[in-house]
């Protein structure tokens, strides 16, 4: 039994393909009786529209491509969630693709994108400048980037404003009576330097604004990982650096730091208060639960996809905007009053 097409339905119902199409698409210029006959034929034959044919005919693919870094980190799930929430509402599909590795891979992806495999594209955390983004846009394919490093000007972007969360964090720590700060910065790698230095500079400024100088001896570069955090704190301790507040540039680092502090007999949050960055899912499962700056990935992603869909469906010519999304501190249990205040 061959695949049943709209043509079969038409013949079976004694009408033309056009009429069937109209019935299928709920057009109101069809006689009630005819419509019924068509419906019966559809049911009898078990007909279903071929999506691909519809897509070609309508010039849409009802999907948004989500290009993610190949190292799908835990936080990716937040991005996906946000994207799916919006996609579902608009009956779009989220097509996940991982970032291309080499030149050949890149060319293929770009060809797919320009070939309109998707109606719009959301690029998550591009490390570098992506020269093909403007081309896509010029080709009329809406593109948005999430959390880039400012390396793709002219492309609509949603980026977190880390300063608000950092201000809150510093204000929180200072309010708690903390007086000497140490900071675990990101690793000295090309790829991560931008984020890393930005966060450091913001912390430094926020502290300075409150009269605290964060000198270089109190800053140690570390990997964005649990092990990195452990090593970082061990390093600080070994050098005899004193601090009652520790700021980590990622949550995993913060957890490692808490482990190292505990190993050294320093109680978190009393002896040392710790704040992380990102608010990863595990932040609620650490002991103590982690106070951290929430990176609003879900929101950014949802807003980005909503915007993309709007410019896909509404034909609203997307205009390059840079949406800055505020970050906030989530206070949990890894921060608390200073020892001499607690009573």
Partner DNA sequence: CTGTTAGCGCTTTCAC
Partner DNA sequence: GTGAAAGCGCTAACAG
Binding site for its own copies (CB under 8 A): 48-56, 59, 61-63, 65, 72, 74, 76-77, 80-81, 84, 88, 91, 93-98, 108, 111-112, 114-117, 226, 252, 255, 258-259, 262, 281-282, 284-287
Residue 143 makes contact with DNA by CB under 7 A: no
The C-alpha atoms of residue 224 and residue 298 are separated, in whole angstroms, by 21
Interface with DNA by CB under 7 A: which range of 5-13, 74-82, 200-208, 209-217? 5-13
Rule CB under 7 A: choose which of 12, 47, 119, 218 binds DNA: 47
Rule CB under 7 A: choose which of 25, 284, 313, 341 binds DNA: 25
Is the Cβ–Cβ distance between 271 and 261 less than 8 Å? yes
Q: Report the residue number, 12 or 61, with the smaller CB distance to its own copies.
A: 61
- HEC letters along 155-167: CEEEEEEHHHHHH
Rule CB under 7 A: choose which of 1, 12, 17, 104 binds DNA: 17
Interface with DNA by CB under 7 A: which range of 47-55, 90-98, 138-146, 326-334? 47-55
Q: Is the peptide bond before 306 cis (omega within 30 degrees of 0)?
A: no
Q: Report the residue number, 1 or 213, with the smaller CB distance to its own copies.
A: 1
Interface with DNA by CB under 7 A: which range of 53-61, 153-161, 220-228, 269-277? 53-61
The C-alpha atoms of residue 83 and residue 330 are separated, in whole angstroms, by 23
Residue 228: both structure tokens together = 């990195």
Alpha-helical (H) ranges within the chain are: 6-13, 17-24, 32-45, 51-58, 76-89, 103-114, 132-138, 162-175, 190-209, 226-238, 251-263, 297-313, 339-342
| 249: DSSP letter | S
| 329: DSSP letter | E
Residue 223: both structure tokens together = 């990997």
Interface with DNA by CB under 7 A: which range of 54-62, 139-147, 204-212, 294-302? 54-62
Interface with DNA by CB under 7 A: which range of 25-33, 79-87, 127-135, 162-170? 25-33
Total of residues contacting DNA (CB under 7 A)? 32
Crossing angle between the packed helical segments 76-89 and 297-313, to the nearest 10 degrees = 30
Crossing angle between the packed helical segments 32-45 and 6-13, to the nearest 10 degrees = 120
Residue 329: both structure tokens together = 């501190």
Residue 61 makes contact with DNA by CB under 7 A: no
Q: Report the residue number, 117 or 241, with the smaller CB distance to its own copies.
A: 117
Which among DNA, its own copies, none contacts residue 63 (Cβ within 5 to 8 A by kind)?
A: its own copies
Rule CB under 7 A: choose which of 1, 26, 46, 58 binds DNA: 58
Of residues 41, 57, 37, the one with CA closest to residue 5: 41
Residue 88: both structure tokens together = 């579902």
Which among DNA, its own copies, none contacts residue 286 (Cβ within 5 to 8 A by kind)?
A: its own copies
Cβ–Cβ contacts within 10 Å for residue 296, how many?
21
Which among DNA, its own copies, none contacts residue 34 (Cβ within 5 to 8 A by kind)?
A: DNA
Binding site for DNA (CB under 7 A): 3, 5-7, 14-19, 21-22, 24-25, 28-35, 47-50, 53-54, 56-59
């Amino acid at each position: 039994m061959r695949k049943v097409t709209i043509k079969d339905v038409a013949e079976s119902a004694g009408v033309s393909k056009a009429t069937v199409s109209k019935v299928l698409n709920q057009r109101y210029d069809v006689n009630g009786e005819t419509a019924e006959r068509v419906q019966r034929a559809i049911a009898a034959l078990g007909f279903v529209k071929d999506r691909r044919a519809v897509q070609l005919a309508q010039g849409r693919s009802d999907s948004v491509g989500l290009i993610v870094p190949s190292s799908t980190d835990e936080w990716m799930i937040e991005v996906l969630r946000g994207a799916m929430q919006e996609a579902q509402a608009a009956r779009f599909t989220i097509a996940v693709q991982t970032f291309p590795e080499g030149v050949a891979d890149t060319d293929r992806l770009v060809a797919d994108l320009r070939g309109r495999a998707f109606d719009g594209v959301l690029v998550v955390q591009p490390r570098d400048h992506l020269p093909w983004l403007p081309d896509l846009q010029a080709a009329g394919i809406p593109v948005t980037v999430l959390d880039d490093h400012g390396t793709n000007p002219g492309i609509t972007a949603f980026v977190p404003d880390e300063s608000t969360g950092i201000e809150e964090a510093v204000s929180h720590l200072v309010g708690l009576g903390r007086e000497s700060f140490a900071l675990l910065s990101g690793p000295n790698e090309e790829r991560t330097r931008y984020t890393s230095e930005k966060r450091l500079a913001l912390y430094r400024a926020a502290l300075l604004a409150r009269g605290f100088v964060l000198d270089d001896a109190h800053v140690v570069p570390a990997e964005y990982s649990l092990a990195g955090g452990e090593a970082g704190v061990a390093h600080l301790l070994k050098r005899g650096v004193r601090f009652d507040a520790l700021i980590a540039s990622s949550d995993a680092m913060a957890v490692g730091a808490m482990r190292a502090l505990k190993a050294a007999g320093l109680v978190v949050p009393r002896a040392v208060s710790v704040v992380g960055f990102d608010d990863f899912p595990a932040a609620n499962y650490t002991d103590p639960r982690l106070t951290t700056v929430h990176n609003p990935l879900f929101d950014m992603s949802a807003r980005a996809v909503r915007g993309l869909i709007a410019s896909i469906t509404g034909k609203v010519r997307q205009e390059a905007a840079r949406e800055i999304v505020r970050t906030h501190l989530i206070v949990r249990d890894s921060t608390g009053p200073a020892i001499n205040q607690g009573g």
